[in-house]
Amino acid sequence: MFPRNTWYVAATPDEVADKPLGRTICNERLVFYRGAGGQVVALEDFCPHRGAPLSLGRVCEGELICGYHGLKMGCDGKTVSMPGQRVRGFPAIRSFPVVERCGFIWVWPGEAGLADPAKIHPLPWAENPAWAYGGGLYHIQCEYRLMIDNLMDLTHETYVHATSIGQPEIDETPCATRTEGDEVITSRFMNGILPPPFWQMALRSNGLPDDQPVDRWQICHFSPPSHVMIEVGVALAGKGGYDAPPEFKASSIVVDFITPESDSSHWYFWGMARNFKPEDQALTAQLREGQGKVFSEDQQILEQQQANLLRWPERKLLMLNIDAGGVQSRRVLDRVIAAERAPMQPGGAGIPVTPPTA
């Protein structure tokens, strides 16, 4: 139950730096590597000769060489050569559209003919030198939508992350949720509160006082298939909050790419983009360590939640106001998946003939 004709984050560039990477995405076993000229390639992880995984091979001058019998595979899935063999009749393996952009490797697991790099989620901060990014990757044994629910409802911070980023004000302040096209936005504004330690540090970095009341915001943006970008920040109280001029505020973006591996597991790419002290690499490392620790607190509860849902499949979950972000995101996903599966109208690309049954 995930869209296939879409771009997912599959890996980070360091993962394919010096050897092939085997990774299953949307139930497809893939191998990623850097082909000629350094561009990233994604193929089925299956050597057409004897079925060995190509990801156990090595890359030589931009060609992937199977680690079993030396078959040389081209980036189009066609065999280039093999010692002592004529390879013209070898069956091709499937290649997948892949793009390296904004510090991530993106793959399109569905129909290749529909893959348009212009549809890759824009990440303006990634191309702006005033911003810095640090992040990591977790493998989580639950379906990807439970992670979307988690990130589109930050009241859980008060409980799951009670000792780090949680604070009572989050729980006490209502959130507002709306859907705009395929995007779902859920936001919470806490005005006139004291800044917690993280934001004290950020205020000081921006040359602002750290001991005065601030207006704080959390704005979660879901975009299909499973990206959640969370704008977080503070402004000196009374200066306009989220809309205050830059000289009165500090902010960052919590970045989440949630890539299905199978029907009950996913790859969770998490990170933070910030526009203060972008050149401070020690700060980047420190933030990554802290964020990695916080996000690891969700893993146990999500995996046991998945086990509970499998055990009681007939139980309906509640959909409260705090859950609106996840609920509306799932509605968008249902619509996207139904559109993918529906037959196309002649000339009407992407518009299903029958209404989707979400």
x/- mask, a second copy, residues 79-98, rule CB under 8 A, reads: ---xxxx----xx-------
* Dihedral Cα 26, 222, 329, 226, nearest 10 deg: 0
Measured from the CB atom, the residue of 191 and 206 that comes closer to a second copy is: 191
By CB under 8 A, tell whether 50 contacts a second copy.
yes
C-alpha to C-alpha distances, 6 to 121, 126, 220, nearest whole angstrom: 10, 20, 21
- Count, residues near a second copy per rule CB under 8 A: 49
Q: How far apart are CA 3 and CA 338, in angstroms?
A: 9
Q: Among 312, 349, 354, 357, which residue sits at the site for a second copy (rule: CB under 8 A)?
A: 312
User: To 5 degrees, how large is the angle CA 325–CA 105–CA 9?
Assistant: 20
User: In the Cβ-directed half-sphere of 2, how many Cα atoms lie within 13 Å?
Assistant: 28
Of 39, 212, 281, 308, the one binding a second copy (CB under 8 A) is 308
CB of 284 to a second copy, least distance (A): 30
How many C-beta neighbours within 10 Å does residue 36 have? 12
Q: Is 352 in the site for a second copy (CB under 8 A)?
A: no
Beta bridge partners of 29: 24
| Closest separation in Å from C-beta 270 to a second copy | 18
Q: Cβ(157)–Cβ(172) under 8 Å?
A: no
Return the structure tokens found at 278. 């972008």
Among 148-156, 223-231, 256-264, 341-349, which window interacts with a second copy (CB under 8 A)?
Answer: 148-156
User: Which residues have a Cβ under 8 Å from the Cβ of 328 and sit 6 or more positions away?
Assistant: 177, 178, 179, 184, 222
Of 80 and 301, nearer to a second copy (C-beta) is 301
- Per CB under 8 A, 296 contacts a second copy: no
Which of 143, 149, 215, 256: binder of a second copy (CB under 8 A)? 149
Token reading at 18: 């010096």
Element containing residue 313 per DSSP (H, E): none
Residue 163 binds a second copy (CB under 8 A) = no
CA–CA gap between residue 327 and residue 321 (Å, rounded): 9
The single residue among 48, 97, 109, 110 that binds a second copy, judged by CB under 8 A, is 48
49 versus 221: smaller Cβ distance to a second copy: 49
User: Which residues of the shown chain bind a second copy in the complex (CB under 8 A)?
Assistant: 29, 45-46, 48-53, 56-57, 65-70, 82-85, 90-91, 149, 153, 155-156, 158-160, 171-172, 174, 300-301, 304-305, 307-309, 311-312, 315, 317-318, 320-323
